[in-house]
Structure 1
Amino acid sequence: MACGTADDINVRTFGAPNTLDFHIYYERDGQVLSAFHDIPLFANDEKTLYNMVVEIPRWTNAKNEINKEAALNPIKQDIADGKARFIPNILPFKGYIWNYGAFPQTWEDPGYISPYTGFKGDNDPIDVIEIGQNVATVGEIKQVKVLGIIGLLDQDETDWKVVVIDAKDPLFDKINDIEDVETYKPGYLKSTDTFFRVYKLPSGKKENTIAFGGEAKNKEFATSIILETHEHWKSLINGTTPRQDIQTINLSVADSPYRVDADNSTVSSVPENNPAAPTPIDSKYDEWFYVSATNKEE
C-alpha cells in the first residue's frame, strides 16, 4: 500500500463526455491502472496528504464516477433510466458546488453498520468534496488535506463526504480543520448541508438527512473514518471480504489474489487514448428546480 503523489500517472480517455461511451482510465508508463485499487490513498510518507480522484468538477452536472463493476474501474458517467445521468440545478446551486470525487483504496462496506449513523455503507469508495478556489477537470488527481467530514444518510445508507482542500490552494496553510472553513469561506458548509439534503428531491426521492444533527465533524474524526474505509478496502482487495459484483483486478497490490501482470488480456484490451469532443447536453438539464430542506435533525 505504497504512498505516492501520482505525478507520474496520466489519463487515457476515449468516448465523448456527456455520453455512456465516455471512459477515463489511468496509466503509468503506458500501463493501465485501476482508479479504485492502484492509485495510492496517501500522497506522502507522512500520510498528511491524500490523493483525490476528481469525478465531477465544480459547477458541472454530469454524474461521473469510478465504476466499480467495470474491469480496472474507469471513470464513467452514471446511468439513470438507461441514459447518461446529470445532477439537477437546484437554485441557487449550478451543478455541484465543489470539486467532487473519491479517495482510491477506500470502500464503504455495505456489510458494515456504522456505530455513528446506524446505517450500512453505500458500497463505494469514500466521497470527497474539495473546497479550493480552482475548478478541476474530470480525472484530475489532486493532493489534498483533510479538514472534516459530513455524515450524509442518503436513502438509508451511510454516505460519508470528506471535506478537503487542495495542497496548491492559496488558503491551504490557513484552513487546517473544519472550523476554519466557516472563518475563511463563510456559508459554504451551510450551503453544502442544504445541497445534500435536497439534491435528490427533483428525481422523486425523499429528502436526505445529515448525521450528528447536521454538524460536520472535525479532522481527527474524519481521519478515523478514512482509515476505517481503507481497512475495509484491504479486506476487499485481499479476498477476505467477498467482492460480489466489484471488479478487483489490479496491477500493484502485493497481497491481492486479484493482482495481474501488464500482459493480462483484460489490461491489454483497454483501448488506446482516443478522446472525442463533448456531446452537447440536452437543454432539459439546464432546467432549474426550486426546493427547500425541511428536515433539520438526524
Structure 2
Amino acid sequence: MGFRSGINERQRRVGEELRRARDAAGLSASEVGEALGVKGPNISHIEAGRIGLTLERLNTWLDLCAIDDPGYRAGLSAMSESSGKGWWTDFKHDVIGRALDLAEAEANSTALDSYETLLIPGLLQTRSYSEVIHGYNERKVEFRHRRQKLLSGEDAPPFRAVIHEAALHMMYGGPTVMRDQLSHLIEVSRLPNVTIQILPFDCTSFASTDTPFMLLRGPHHRLHTVLLEQPHGGSFVGDPESVAKFDQKFDRIRGLALPPLSASTPTSSATYRDSLGLIQHIRYKVQGW
C-alpha cells in the first residue's frame, strides 16, 4: 500500500465517500482496518486519497458499512479502479491540476449543468474568445477546445447552460470576437444535447447565487460533484447536502432565465422575449460598433 505521489480529485473523492460511509455506519478506523487486514493509521491515508484500495478491500469496506445500493457500489468501484488516463494526460504540463480533474470528471459525467456570470462557459467558447481569456497561451486554448469535443462526440451527455446577460456584453477581444462568439452560441444550440438560456438584466428576483458553478452528474446521485468558481480558484464540492443545494439553485436559475435558445425557431416578433431574441439583439448592437 504505497503512497501516491499526487492525489487527483477522483482519488480524493473515493476516499471521502469511504469516510462518509464509515462515519454513517458508526465504525472506528481501527475496526475497518481490522476487517481489511491493514493497520488503523492507514485508514486515514485511504480516506485522504493518499493510498488506494484493491477491489476486494473496497467491497469489504462497503459490505462492512452495509452499502447495498448496486448503482452506487458500481460507480464507486469504477472510480477506484480507473487509471485516470485520457486525452487530458497529454496536457499535464500545460494546465493546472484542477483543469485536468475537470476534464476527467466531464468525461465520466452523465449530464452537465453550468451557470456563468461574466464569461461564456468554457465548453461553448470560440477559439478566438478562449485565446483572449487564456492570454493567447496556445496549449491552454487547445486544452479548452479539446474539452468541447465532449458535446458532439458519441454518447454526448446533456449539457444545460444558463449564462447571465452580463457575459454577453463583455467585449473580450473586441466587437468582432464577441460577434462571432454570440453567433457560435446560436449554432451550438442546434446540438440536440445542448440547452442554453440567458438570465436577463431585468430579472427582478435574486438568483440565489452570484457565484459561477458547474454541476457534474455522476453515474449515481451520490456521486454528483459541483465545481465552484471562487476568487481564490475553483474547488470541488461533493458532500450530498451541498450538491443538493446547488441542484436546487440551478433549477431556480433556470426558472428565472428566459426560455431556451432555439436556433430552429425564429423570433416571432420584436417583442417576443426568449434567449435567442436577446442574443440576436445584442449581436446586432455589437455589429454597429
Q: Give yes or no for TM over 0.5.
A: no
Bigger relative CO (Cα 8 Å, ≥ 6 apart): 1
| Structure ID, larger Rg | 2
Q: TM-score, normalised by structure 1?
A: 0.25
User: Relative to total residues, which structure has the larger helix share, 1 or 2?
Assistant: 2
User: Relative to total residues, which structure has the larger strand share, 1 or 2?
Assistant: 1
